[in-house]
Structures are given as structure tokens and as C-alpha cells.
Amino acid sequence: MSSGNLGKCFDAGAFGEKIALIEPAKPAGQRETSYIELDREADAVARGLIKKGLVAGDSVGLIGQNSREFLSAYFGVMRAGMIAVPMSFKLAQRVIDHIFQDSEIKAAFVQADFAGMVPEGVQAFSLHRDDGFETLLDHGPFETFEPQGRELAMILYTSGSTGLPKGVLLSHASQRWSIDHVAKAGDDKQHHRYIVAAPMFHMNATISAKSALAVGASVVLLPTFDALEYAKAIGDHRVTWLTSVPTMLAMVARESERLGNIDLSSVTNVTMGSAPLTQALIDKVQAMFPASVINNSYGTTEGGPSPFGPHPDGVPRPALSLGYPLSGVETKLLESDEPNQGVFYVRSPMVMEGYRNLSEKTGEVLQDGWYRSGDLMRRDDDGFYYFLGRADDMFNVGGENVWPGEVEKLIEMMDGVHQASVVPAPHELKGQAPFAFVVLREGANLTEDDIKAFTIANGPAFSHPRNVRFVDSIPLAGTNKPDRKLLIERAARELS
């Protein structure tokens, strides 16, 4: 397979009739798709788009839940030399309109439920097989577009906490480098079964699906994430490799009593990334999947999906570590008086080309190929990196800096606590102070004073939560991460 096109990231000639996709939740029953079928359908999409008058360089939107049709369209768009723009169907219409305008989207694949989101004047193609998708397909041989240099493959829009999201420009070369240096590293992975339930408008899902297909594995593809359905799919299809956002597995862990006789013993690898990870969650996940090796992964849309890996000298990787920088990846920690702690900067072939139509914003985070992540990290004596929190999330409490992630880790160490999310809230004397939302385990009987006393006794007193609210669950944003913006608003509202 010689093509550098991201849409051609898997080798159908090598894997042939092997099952590429398993979709358990189809209305008509389970559906399986072979590598050959997926490859031919992606080519048919590319031919169909060209037949409709689109040309290389045009942007094509994708709005829908995870499905074979979504992946065929996604790969087909890129094979035709066009730019794929997956977007969240949970966004407000004004934000969707902004993305269409900002990316100059000429056509869009859309699930019927969300058809009204496509602005007038934009060609719309259905993602439903029996309702228009097949009429676009133009079957036959297709010569995949060969990108030159750093030509764009896709634009992913970041879920900014304020204002409109920024379009991250990602090249074929950047994403192929990640697949070749991360997914294909190590032992043969063809025997594995991955599960993907995170949304395809998020880097975690897109790189997971592409990486699994690139190594000839099979992907159990769920339309959306549901904790119980996720667990059932693992048991029913003997899934071996989980890639997820930590919050997703926290929700599965909470459902453990309802899992009943579901057999989760097939899981040998668990990779969690895209959000902070705590030792408490690692312990819960290890208990659910006792035969698994758990890896704390790190990546950003702008800087690349996975700049870290194993230590080159074979030094064992500590549980909470993100790993050691990959060969070909340069890293540094800046904006701190401490040499081994600071804001994480990275330079590698995986880094974005910039933000769409935002040259000033691009210049703020990207200089001489170095991307400023905005993530605070530390580095140990062996060169392993650890995530401490978002530098932007840090807030000041009476002159002291508090990182929410550190307070969350502390609270989650308590017996009876399942999950915690800490945000800044107004405080009469300190200006701001931590406000904790806490999910208890079944049967736990903790009080607000218990949480406060534990954090004062086991951490800096200034960082203890001045207010604690017990909730049934932590609200999630569209990327399955805690919705910090919503929690900050709720905390302020409760104190007003």
C-alpha cells in the first residue's frame, strides 16, 4: 500500500474478506463489513462525489452517528482529494452555520435526524443506506488522489469553552505519521478486536478507527456511547482492545453492578486518553478487566494523537505516566521556574497546519513548528511525562494556584467516592474557591464535611473545596469529557 492518502490508510488487498467492522446495534440485526467491502464503498463515494461536480480541495461536511456509511463517506471524501469536516450534531445551529461558512463546505453527508442542520444551498447526501446513500455511490475502479507535501485531509473543530470553535487543519501526512509510528509499532495486532463508541467528530474516535483498520484488526462500532451497551458489546464480541475517554470507562465502572454475568475477560489492552486520569479510576478499570494492560494516553487535536510511547531503554512505565517522547517527537516544558514542570510544547510531523482563517490565533500557539498545548505537565528523572491539568483551568485562590485535576484525584481517593469534578466558583474572601461535584458509589453515606475534612487532611488546605454538591452523574460535553463550562455556570448559580 503506497498511497499517502489518509482515506487509504488500510490495505484491503492484504486483509481482503476479513471483517473490518462489526455493528451490533443495527435495527435489522448485527451487520459485518469486510475490508474489501469498505474499500470498494469508499471508492464508490469518491467517484460519486466527483460525478456530482465536486473537485479536489472542496470541503465536505459529515454529520451523524458512527456507522459504516459514515466511515465510507469519511474515507471516500479524502480519497477524492477533498477535505473531510466531521462535526457534532449536538452543537447549536449558529455554531453549525459557522463551521459550514468557515470551512466553505460545498456538500455534506448527514443522518436523516439532523438533515435540518445543513444550510440551504449546500448539497446534502444521506447517510442512510435505504434513503439516498446508495444513489450517490458510483461503483468501479478509482485512482486515489495522491497528496503532495502537507495537503489537508480534514478539519476538526475544537470544542472551545467560550466563543466559536476553531477549525484545526490536519494534513494527510500528519495523521499517516501517527498511524505508522504508533499504531503499527510493536507486535502484530491483526488478531485484536477494538471497540469505538466515541463520536467521529472527535480525534479519539477517528484515530482509533483508522489505527485499528491500518493494522488489520476488527472494529466493533457503536453508534453512540452507552455504558451498558458498551459493556455488552465487549462481552458479546470478545473485544480485546479498548480506546476511550476516561469518563466513558468511569461510567462503565459505575454500571458494574448491573453488568451481571457479562464476561469482560477478553480485554487485554485498555488505552484511555483525551482527559485527565486518576489512580482511583485505573484501579476500578483494572478490577473490571483484570487481564488488561492499562495505558494512560495523551494527545491533542492540534499537536497530534499520541506523542508518547515506551521508554527506549525499556524502563517500566509508571501507571499514571503518559509515556516517553517518541523518536521523531521533540518536547519541552516552559513557562515555569521549575525545569521539570511547565506548559507542554511539542514539535513533530503530527502537528497541525494551523487554525482555519485564524492567523493570529495560530501564531499564539504555533511558532517555528512548536505547538503550545496549554497543558501543564511534569517530567520525572527517567524522562516520563505526567499530565497535571490545563494551564487555562488553573485558578487562583487567595494568591495560591489550584489545579482542579489535582483536587479531583485527591477526592477520588476517598472510600465511597466514584467520581469528582472540581471547578472555580466565586468566593467573598478568596475571589475564587474550589467547588466540587461528587458522584458517590452505591450505598456510600458521605457528607459535605467528610469531603472537606479529607481534602484538608491530605492536601493543601487552600485547595480544599469550600462547597460540595452530590450528583447522580457528571454532565458530559459532546466529546464525552466533563462539561466544565456547564459546571462552572451551575456552581456560580447555586452561590448567587
pLDDT in tens, 55-76: 999 999 999 999 999 999 999 9
Q: Which three cell numbers stand for residue 31?
A: 451487520
Rounded CA-CA distance 455/413 in Å is: 10
The pLDDT profile of the chain, 496 residues, written as one tens digit per residue, is 458 999 999 999 999 999 999 999 766 789 999 999 999 999 999 999 999 999 999 999 999 999 999 999 999 999 999 999 999 998 889 999 999 999 999 999 999 999 999 999 999 999 998 888 999 999 999 999 999 999 999 999 986 544 688 999 999 999 999 998 877 777 889 999 999 998 898 888 899 999 999 999 999 999 998 988 999 999 999 999 998 877 788 888 877 767 778 899 999 999 887 566 778 788 888 988 999 999 888 889 999 988 999 999 999 999 889 999 999 999 999 998 889 999 999 999 999 999 999 999 999 999 999 999 998 899 999 999 998 877 778 788 877 778 888 899 899 999 999 999 999 998 877 778 999 999 999 889 999 999 999 999 998 888 999 999 999 999 887 667 788 889 999 999 999 7
Residue with cell 466529546: 479
Q: What is the DSSP letter of 300?
A: B
**Roughly what angle, to the nearest 10 degrees, separates helices 246-254 and 227-236?**
90
| E strand segments, 319-411 | 324-325, 330-334, 341-347, 354-355, 366-367, 370-379, 385-390, 395-397, 400-402
Domain map of the chain by residue range?
Answer: 6-224, 298-390, 395-495
* Sign of torsion over alpha carbons 282, 301, 255, 218: negative
> Tell me, what's the pLDDT at 460?
84
Closest to 175 in 3D by CA, of 198, 156, 188? 156
Evaluate whether the domain defined by 6-224 bears CATH number 1.10.10.10.
Answer: no
Summarize pLDDT for 444-489 with one digit per residue, the tens.
999 999 999 999 999 888 899 999 999 999 988 766 778 888 999 9
Provide the 3-class DSSP secondary structure of residue 46: helix
Q: Does domain 298-390 have CATH number 2.30.38.10?
A: yes
- Give CA torsion, residues 234, 237, 239, 244, to 10 deg: -50
pLDDT value of residue 1: 46
pLDDT at 255: 78
Topology of the domain comprising 395-495: GMP Synthetase; Chain A, domain 3 (3.30.300)
> Measured between alpha carbons, how far is 268 from 192 in angstroms, rounded to an integer?
9
Say what the pLDDT of residue 479 is. Answer: 67
Burial 354-388 (b: 16+ CB within 10 A, else e): bbbeeeeebeebbeeebbbbbbbbbbeeebbbbbb
